[in-house]
Structure 1
Amino acid sequence: MTAPHALQLHLEPVLAGLPDFARRVVAATLESLRSSSMALAVAQDRQQVFAAMEALNRHGARWVESFASHLDQAVREAMDDRAAARGRSIGRLRVDELTLVDERQAEEDIETSRTVMQIEELAEWELREVQAYMAALRGETTIRREANPLRPEVYARALSHSSRVLPLDTAPRMLLLRTAGSEMGRLLREAYASLCRGLEQKGVEPLSFRAVPTPASPAPARDPFGQVLGKLRAAAPAGAPAVPGGLEARLAELNRRIAPDSLPVPLDAPHVTVPNVLQQLQAPAAGAAPTSPDPELVSLLSKLFDQILADPRLLPPVRSVLGRLQVSVLRVALQDPTLLTEQQHPTWLLLDRIASHCAGYADVKDERLSGFLAFVEQLVGRVAAQDKPDATLYRRALQEVNDYIDAKAREAIERSRAAVEKLQRIERAEQLRSVLRQQMRQWQGPPISQSLRDFLFGPWVDVLVEAMSRYGEDGQETSELLHTVDELLWSLQPMRNAEDRARLRALLPLMTERLQRGLDLIGMPTEQRAAVLAELRAMHTKHMREPAPEDLTPEQLVQRLREEEDSGPLWFDSGEDVDRSVLPTVPIGLMSHPETEAGRLAREAWQSRLVPGTWYLMFVQGRWVTAQLTWVSDNKQFFLFSSQQVGHSHSMTRRALERLLREGLVTVLEDRSLLQRAADSMLQDLDGPR
């Protein structure tokens, strides 16, 4: 029996039991909510619990059906995860594909991650055993978390997605997910144990766990690559570089062994051994005199390339490309002493740039990766062919790589132009609403009706955004429509004297014409605009006829104050968080103290790394994905990412990014560069037991 058939056969009972599992989770959740509601002393918490309970009582059957359906689909997809990964492709972004991760989605992702952690804590040993059985059923030789189609995140995502059928606001739905996640973890522990017993009775042998020794890690060096450069510098020949006789011929011979015609290495090659030719340079060729320029220098460079060519984060073709530069780097070291003193030498920067740009690619069929490698292979071939390479050569090569990456980034943004423009419009709208809120806070007139408030913050903001898109932010038409807001707010307050009333009469025709012109831009339906204009006309008529405040009798003044008091405050809290600053990715510990100086400095440091091209590891839509930042809005309110695992590009609001950050759900993919990693490993080998 083949592995896929064995997996399918043994998991069919699990799939058949998913509806019952869903019913048990929902029933346990409802019981837990009933028990907790009696112990809650805070009214707001009780209201959220009661809202969740009411939704379950009325729509529990719908949730069970949706949960079971999502679970069945998710488990079946996870059973064929490798085929799905191979078949996934990155297409052009369409506007309707753009996923906006806002604060609500971030909160949902946070709850999903907490559910995963709860399950892992409650069912740690049972989950390990299930993973061993799943690896055996797949016919694999190692135990992989992703090979388990019943892994916690599969259940957690299904739970989160299915809960959307319940008519709940964000707060009670998050409470519901938190409660349901805990109950599901307990039930999954029982289900995992039962599955393992069943597989054991059927004679399935679980794959054994292999003990992976943890290397002794000395205290991390502050600057490991700097220490490696120091060792190289100490090993370099003193005075003017001297090239021993016969060395150039030997270098040319070694270079031919890794010639360009051996590239490219197939992207899906499982194991590719790239020869470290510098090791061969340490021993003389048969019957020839020693030709090594300095044994220790060559030995250290050879050890550095050993670590680079063994770096598990590099895809096989990337190792091949970088390995092609071994002889060239040695030639630079012999002719350019600055290579051994400057970490920012163009040679090191080129190696790091190539590696970091490829770091986030996991789909070997991604056209962006294959295109970049094809370009780099040609470039590296030209560099390696130079018999006297220097900093200038590598600086030009680095510039070519950067130019290529920038050009591809511009092409990607152009393909996503509609999505970027959509995000820009959203950002402009938020900026305009912020300005309007500030104006409204300073408003000294009587309360504005909710309908007019909705008009200002809705359709009229859309008018201004459309004007900015058509005529530019500084265009005359845009300026006139922006000024209309000031005129409108002024016209809604009582006129203090005859001069004000006369000014209002003169202003109304022009203001009405501008309002009509603006609403034409967004095509507002006739009935809706007629209702708004009628309300404005009624208020303007009232203000022009009633006496000014100084003409009112004491009784009229008292009545006016009572009316204003009864109508409620002018401005109300919309429930939005205070916009303190742009809060990019920072260490979680510092985010716990956002008002401290250390927290501020950390946020600024991380903000500087939020630049297009950087790869991130983040928890999005219920799963960990590797995503590349491709675009940042002018005010850093929106970030556009491209991720292979999710399958299409998605954007994230600043606040959503902040929320994920606080929970440790987003981090820079490469905390250390290629050379830093290689230096760390090299120093451990050099300083370890001999």
Structure 2
Amino acid sequence: MPTRPTLQDFIDEELLRVPMTLDLVIDAVHQRWRERLPGQSRGSGIDPARVLQQHRNELTARALAVLRLSAQEDLRALQPGGSVPPRGAAKPAAPRRSASLVAEPSLSLIDEADVAVDIEIARCTQAVKLQAEVVLRELQTYTSALVNDANVSRDTNPFRPERMVRALWDGVQQLPMARPLMAAFLQDAAQPLATILQRAYAAACRRLEEQGVEPASYRTIVTSGSTVWGHQTTARYQVPDDLHVLRSSMPMPLGSLPAAPQRAPAAVSAAATAAPIAATTTTASGSAAPDPQLIELLARLFEAIQGDLRLAPDTVALMQRLQPTALRVALRDPSLLDRYDHALWRFMDQLAHDLALCTPSQRLRLLGLGRNLVDHLAQADPRDSHGFAWALERLLAAQRHALNQAIAAAQPEIDKLERIVADQASATTGAMPLDIATLDTVPAALMAEPPSATGGTLASTGLPPGATVRAYLQGERRTLVSLWQDGQHELALLREPATELLFAVRQRALARLQSEGLAHTFKVRSLVRRSAEKVMRAL
């Protein structure tokens, strides 16, 4: 009887086939370049097709080495006792920076040429995901079975599309050619790679099936929204403008029927039962009892918050500590479940937002502040909304203090960027007075483009200190907080709280990412609105 394969066996077998996959992609790009030179090579005096053919072995060797290291890291993380490496830790394939660097090696300046590569990486990854979507789900069930993950609760495919594209890009950087040509390689490789990987994923599924691997359940795989490039995820259900309609849709517990007006609903906790009851529903006998639909909706909203995978476990624990307080407030003030902007919800939203953006060194302090504020609110009068406004202001004050500390710590880097801006200004005539008499002789091509044509919001309004963006930068989706920007909105110093890394970025580069759908402002999200959508889907 053959031995059931392990994930290590699967990795070893697939790594033997990776060189052939890469060769097919290189052949496709090479043939395309022989027929039509990429636009970036015109006038450069080099033959990209010839350079690609001469150095294809270096490309393949580097990409294979990167895949081997990343697959072994995944294997260690999935094994008992293994741990996932912290975000921001050293990776086996650190991308080489472009020639556009600040003189100091500790801070690189990311410009439009750099984000052009990020855009091509994202497009190439998306092309593979779109074409191989169905077979990717099937392969995920097989790799989940290899690690005994019967519910397919995580992505266990060591050769997922983003991993393959990043390895290919690391290999491309071994080619002795200009960075725009490297980006052109990814652009021309996107469709061949998608077709080849689709066949490779399907073949891997058939091999695992022949080896006797029983796939995990398909029913637990959930896809998220639209997969079309540049499109935003759209909800299947329209979230109501307020919670009143959703509240009236809650099922009525049997214990709340008029025939038994004195029976308390089973969903009321001990803390809620002890709380004073003012917001009630009048029964047939004229007595007052808690509205069972109100209690049911509140319980379901907090249950949805508890199951929100985007919240860290310690954040969820804080939110759950607020549930008895929320019930006390709802029984006194039913408007809590009529609108999303109640002071209690706004406090919860801000607390979750700040915890998502705080640095690891500040997290314990912020959690302590959150627990103290939650305990204080639990003892306050539920009819008084000023307590929640006071708690919200305390959170905002802590946020401002943390931002000022980060700005002070980054002052040396800010000084360097200010010198760069000053040097660039002195090297141009942009600050010189304009002779009105000669204005009609200025060519239109030399006139500045309007903000709407150069990237929209990020280019026109800039990134003042404290502004937060979510961007695909250097091959990863990052949440970045602005610490500084120059007066002309050309440069910005951003910090990634999760890693405390600094990024000096030209704002036109961020505007380019925004125009491609790879960057957007990151604002405080409404937890209760998100939970209401989940509750509506479950009805």
For residue 151 of structure 1, what is the amino acid of its counterpart? R
The alpha-carbon deviation at position 154 of structure 1 amounts to 0.8
Distance 1:202 1:669 in 2: 46
Change (3 A) 1:99 1:282: farther
Secondary structure of the residue aligned to 1:436 is coil
Partner of 1:31: 31
Secondary structure of the residue aligned to 1:25 is helix
The alpha-carbon deviation at position 681 of structure 1 amounts to 4.4
Residue segments in structure 1 that go unaligned for 5+ positions in a row? 233-246, 258-276, 284-289, 445-570, 584-593
For residue 411 of structure 1, what is the amino acid of its counterpart? Q
Partner of 2:9: 9
Partner of 1:148: 157
Counterpart check, 1:372 vs 2:370 = no
Partner of 1:508: none
For residue 135 of structure 1, what is the amino acid of its counterpart? S
Q: Deviations over 1:510-546 (max 9, x none)?
A: xxxxxxxxxxxxxxxxxxxxxxxxxxxxxxxxxxxxx
Distance 2:106 2:462 in 1: 29
The alpha-carbon deviation at position 349 of structure 1 amounts to 1.8
TM-score by length of 2: 0.73
- With 141-150 and 130-139 compared, the bigger mean Cα shift is at 141-150
Partner of 2:51: 55
> Is the 2:482–2:494 contact (alpha carbons within 8 Å) kept by the matching residues of 1?
yes
What are the within-5 Å matches in structure 2 for residues 627-638 of structure 1?
627-635=479-487, 636-637=489-490, 638=492
Partner of 2:84: 85
Distance 1:77 1:322 in 2: 33
The alpha-carbon deviation at position 50 of structure 1 amounts to 6.1
For residue 129 of structure 1, what is the amino acid of its counterpart? E
Counterpart check, 1:220 vs 2:238 = yes
Partner of 2:184: 175
For residue 271 of structure 2, what is the amino acid of its counterpart? L
Distance 2:215 2:331 in 1: 55
Distance 1:137 1:577 in 2: 61
Q: How many residues align?
A: 485
> Is the 2:41–2:48 contact (alpha carbons within 8 Å) kept by the matching residues of 1?
no
Q: Please, which of 619, 624, 628 is the counterpart of residue 472 of structure 2?
A: 619
- With 206-215 and 309-318 compared, the bigger mean Cα shift is at 206-215
Q: Deviations over 1:477-532 (max 9, x none)?
A: xxxxxxxxxxxxxxxxxxxxxxxxxxxxxxxxxxxxxxxxxxxxxxxxxxxxxxxx
Partner of 1:640: 494
Distance 2:374 2:240 in 1: 31
For residue 406 of structure 1, what is the amino acid of its counterpart? R
Partner of 1:404: 398
Change (3 A) 1:188 1:330: closer
Secondary structure of the residue aligned to 1:422 is helix
The alpha-carbon deviation at position 343 of structure 1 amounts to 5.6
The sequence identity of aligned pairs, in percent, is 26
Q: Please, which of 254, 272, 275 is the counterpart of residue 271 of structure 2?
A: 254
> Is the 2:240–2:246 contact (alpha carbons within 8 Å) kept by the matching residues of 1?
no
Partner of 1:69: 65
Query: Which structure has the larger Rg?
Result: 1
Change (3 A) 1:134 1:668: farther
The alpha-carbon deviation at position 372 of structure 1 amounts to 1.8
What are the within-5 Å matches in structure 2 for residues 261-272 of structure 1?
none
For residue 379 of structure 2, what is the amino acid of its counterpart? A
What are the within-5 Å matches in structure 2 for residues 277-316 of structure 1?
292=289, 298=295, 301-316=298-313
What are the within-5 Å matches in structure 2 for residues 221-620 of structure 1?
221=239, 223-224=241-242, 254=271, 292=289, 298=295, 301-332=298-329, 344-359=341-356, 366-387=360-381, 390-433=384-427, 435-437=428-430, 439=432, 578=448, 580-581=450-451, 594=453, 603=457, 607=461, 612=466, 614=468, 616=470, 618-620=471-473
Residue segments in structure 2 that go unaligned for 5+ positions in a row? 91-103, 226-233, 251-263, 282-286
Change (3 A) 1:370 1:137: farther
Partner of 1:108: 117
Secondary structure of the residue aligned to 1:224 is coil
Change (3 A) 1:197 1:334: closer
Change (3 A) 1:392 1:45: same
Change (3 A) 1:114 1:343: closer
For residue 367 of structure 2, what is the amino acid of its counterpart? L
> Is the 2:243–2:338 contact (alpha carbons within 8 Å) kept by the matching residues of 1?
no
> Is the 1:333–1:340 contact (alpha carbons within 8 Å) kept by the matching residues of 2?
yes
Distance 2:345 2:462 in 1: 22
* Higher-helix-fraction structure: 1
For residue 369 of structure 1, what is the amino acid of its counterpart? R
**What's the Cα RMSD here?**
4.8
What are the within-5 Å matches in structure 2 for residues 662-673 of structure 1?
662-668=515-521, 672-673=525-526
> Is the 1:67–1:159 contact (alpha carbons within 8 Å) kept by the matching residues of 2?
yes
The alpha-carbon deviation at position 71 of structure 1 amounts to 3.1
Distance 2:133 2:368 in 1: 45
The alpha-carbon deviation at position 146 of structure 1 amounts to 3.2
Partner of 1:193: 202
For residue 116 of structure 2, what is the amino acid of its counterpart? E
Partner of 1:659: 512
The alpha-carbon deviation at position 381 of structure 1 amounts to 1.0
> Is the 1:331–1:387 contact (alpha carbons within 8 Å) kept by the matching residues of 2?
no
The alpha-carbon deviation at position 76 of structure 1 amounts to 3.0
For residue 376 of structure 1, what is the amino acid of its counterpart? G
